[in-house]
Structure 1
Amino acid sequence: MHNLTLLSDAEKNRIELDKQAAYAVWQVKNAKKGYEVFAEIGGNIDDDDEREFFERAVTKYKNKMAVA
């Protein structure tokens, strides 16, 4: 078990971005939203490194959930 409160703000943010990516892919897979959800979320991320992290997470979850 890990105590998430001990993580840095940057690490907590990456966990949140990873969760957002997983949920966005799930929404697309289950026809709750269209593919534009990825651009919508990514467009709201100001930091280039964080946006790239989100995009990599989306790719990871697309592969795991078999979303084209």
Structure 2
Amino acid sequence: MHNLTLLSQVEKNRIELDKQAAYAVWQVKNAKRGPDVFVEQSNNIADDDDRDFFERAVTKYKTQMGVA
């Protein structure tokens, strides 16, 4: 087990972005939202590195969940 409070703010942010990506893909897979959710969320991320991380996570979860 890991104590998440010991992580740096950057690492905590990456975990949050990964969770958001997984949830967005889940929403599309389950017809709760359209694929525009990916662009909408990506556009709300100011930092280029964080945006790139989010987009890679979306791609990863699309593959895992079988979303086109």
> Structure 2 length as normaliser, TM-score?
0.99
1:63 matched residue in structure 2: 63
Once the two structures are superposed, the pairs formed by residues 15-54 of structure 1 within 5 Å of their partners are 15-54=15-54
Ranges in structure 1 where 5+ consecutive residues have no aligned partner: none
Q: Deviations 1:11-54 (Å, cap 9, x if unpaired)?
A: 00000000000000000000000000000100000000000000
Separation in structure 2 between the aligned mates of residue 56 and residue 29 of structure 1, nearest angstrom = 17
Aligned pairs, number: 68
Q: Which runs of 5+ in 2 are unaligned?
A: none
Partner of 2:6: 6
Distance in 1 of aligned mates of 2:63 and 2:37: 17
Q: TM-score normalized by structure 1?
A: 0.99
State how far apart, in whole Å, the 2-side matches of 1:49 and 1:7 are. Answer: 18
Identical columns (%): 78
Runs of 4+ in 1 over 3 A off after TM superposition: none
